[in-house]
Amino acid sequence: MKTLSLVTALAAAVSLCGAQGDSGALGEPLFIYVKSPGAVATSELGASPSSSYAQATAAPTTAAQPTSSAPMAPASQPPSSAAASTSTAQASPTSGASAGSSIPNGQGNSFTVPQGAVRFPWNYGNGDKVVPITPTQQNGGWAMSPDQMCKPNSWCPYACESGYYAAQWDPSALLYNGAGSMNGGLYADASGVLSKPFPDRAFCERGLFNAFVKNTLGKSVSACQTVYPGNESMLIPTVVQAGGTAPLNVVPSSYWLGTSSQFYVNLAGSTDSQCIWGTASEPVGNWGAFIFGAGQGKDGNTYISVQYNPLYLSSGFKATDTYNVRIECVSGNCNFPTGGECKCEQGVCSLANGCTVGLPSNAQANFVLY
């Protein structure tokens, strides 16, 4: 193991739980969080973030393929427009990506396009299932922070409808938190011309559709997915109306570096407007009450998790003041941890740090809000 000093607190890379199929081992949540900056243990998978971008362009061997998730831990400060800039060094698409391949040209949208920025290609209701994010802000629809622009010579992430994932990213980005880890979406060349790194893939591909949020509350709730690869802000909304059900984006194991999806889940009464960076006095976004995780392991099983958000609790907000969450099996043979249940209720989870449920290929489950 190596230790790596990071400016922001990172989640340590951990294997997806239950890879051996032992339901009794499904006690830990998908993510381990480091609550404060400092030395973070990382696995030997891949080169260190200090390696040059060019050194990370060769495809890893089978043995070096990551099987774990390493999203950002809850952090108290949003990424600034400068810090959130995507990598530009040697970041052009690999051979075969043709400029403007199947990429729309704005579709008549009237979104914000600051001077020097690259226009967002889609409008609302497009057939590609792309969802504009805060289109009246500086990001102009891209899945970037509101004060961040898509600029020439950079990668520009976009968001997809609930249940679908963005299937375009920098093919040479091979480090979780190193060079290229923010390079999701489309590449804008020096002239601002966009290109599609994987021309044969859709912009948004269907996720596994085996995990849903079932809202039995009297108000809507928003689950905010982090943008990864990207600046990891919790910008991608899934809004579940009162009494309704909505799919979460559960990515397959073939997703970028085998990473999974992470969701910050807001309080009752929230909408997509709360998929932003909050503050210690405002429990929204990265201060949301719950964190959900979802992803597919290399064994073909899906693993979903729930826990209270450490930032929510450490800021003085009470878990007993919010709703409860339990994972219920809808179909198939769901693998629950010891005790046969996975829930966070009245401030206490089934296991101290949250819990994980395994879903074989024939299983579906709901995160029930009650």
pLDDT band at 46 (very low <50, low <70, confident <90, very high): very low
Summarize pLDDT for 263-316 with one digit per residue, the tens.
999 999 999 999 998 889 999 999 999 999 999 999 999 999 999 999 999 999
Q: What is the CATH number of the domain that holds 278?
A: 2.60.110.10
The average confidence (pLDDT) of the chain is 79
* Pick from 66, 81, 33: nearest CA to 233: 81
Domain assignment present for residue 197? The answer is no
Summarize pLDDT for 309-331 with one digit per residue, the tens.
999 999 999 999 999 999 999 99
Domain assignment present for residue 122? The answer is no
Range(s) of the domain holding residue 210: 206-369
Domain assignment present for residue 114? The answer is no
Whether pTM > 0.85 for this model: the answer is: no
Summarize pLDDT for 194-253 with one digit per residue, the tens.
999 999 999 999 999 999 999 999 999 999 999 999 999 999 999 999 999 999 999 999
Lowest pLDDT segment from 52-66, 102-116, 145-159, 285-299: 52-66
Domain assignment present for residue 214? The answer is yes
Domain assignment present for residue 354? The answer is yes
Domain assignment present for residue 215? The answer is yes
Domain assignment present for residue 320? The answer is yes
pLDDT computed for residue 79 by the predictor: 59
Number of domains in the chain: 1
Domain assignment present for residue 111? The answer is no
